[in-house]
């Protein structure tokens, strides 16, 4: 009989702990973790570093390139961001104690980030393992769309030379500022 009561107490304590763990809302953790900015930055950086991006941009030029690239980037972000968010949220909950997460959320992004620093190696490792396939798939979609637009362009030799000169001076900061890119402000990519 005592063993049964003890099991019941442990069961109820487990339920209470799970209920307490859900006290911290997902949105609060996501505000701290900033997955939208993270994914947008990773995706833009990954795609802009490729030879495919450079070839397409060289073919289209900066203005036409932005009109083809940025909507493709937005489409991929909108498609894959929910999975990226879910992965980051589950990894935060898995690696960071509930009390620490709650304290970090209460402190805000700067002080909260410092509090989470000891856990970031484990978070980063698991996030890379879990989300690298998402990043690769999204990058392939962006580049396929972008290169497809470039392959339809018939630029003259003079236009291509001008585009290559533009490309040599190209700075990606603000490239998609005219487009509603989640997580990317006008001052960034």
Structure tokens at 106: 């209460």
pLDDT at 139 over 50: yes
The closest alpha carbon to 131, from 90, 73, 172, 186, belongs to 90
pLDDT at 112 over 70: yes
- The set of residues, in sequence order, having a beta carbon less than 8 Å from that of 153 and lying 6+ positions away, is 59, 60, 64
Mean pLDDT, range 109-136, rounded to an integer? 94
pLDDT at 52 over 70: yes
pLDDT band at 10 (very low <50, low <70, confident <90, very high): very low
Burial profile 157-184: b = 16 or more Cβ within 10 angstroms, e = fewer: eeeeeebeebbeeeeeeebbeeeebebb
């Amino acid at each position: 009989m005592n063993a049964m009561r003890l099991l019941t107490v442990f069961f109820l304590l487990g339920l209470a702990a799970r209920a307490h763990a859900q006290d911290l809302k997902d949105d609060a953790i996501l505000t701290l973790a900033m997955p939208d900015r993270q994914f947008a930055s990773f995706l833009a950086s990954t795609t802009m570093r490729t030879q495919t991006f450079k070839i397409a941009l060289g073919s289209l030029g900066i203005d036409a390139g932005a009109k083809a690239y940025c909507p493709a980037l937005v489409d991929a972000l909108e498609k894959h961001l929910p999975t990226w968010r879910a992965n980051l949220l589950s990894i935060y909950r898995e690696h960071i104690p509930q009390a620490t997460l709650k304290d970090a959320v209460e402190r805000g992004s700067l002080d909260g980030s410092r509090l989470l620093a000891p856990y970031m190696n484990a978070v980063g490792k698991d996030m890379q393992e879990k989300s690298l396939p998402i990043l690769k798939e999204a990058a392939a979609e962006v580049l396929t769309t972008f290169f497809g637009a470039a392959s339809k362009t018939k630029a003259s030799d003079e236009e291509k030379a001008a585009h290559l000169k533009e490309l040599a001076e190209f700075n990606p900061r603000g490239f998609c500022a005219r487009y509603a890119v989640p997580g990317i402000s006008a001052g960034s990519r």
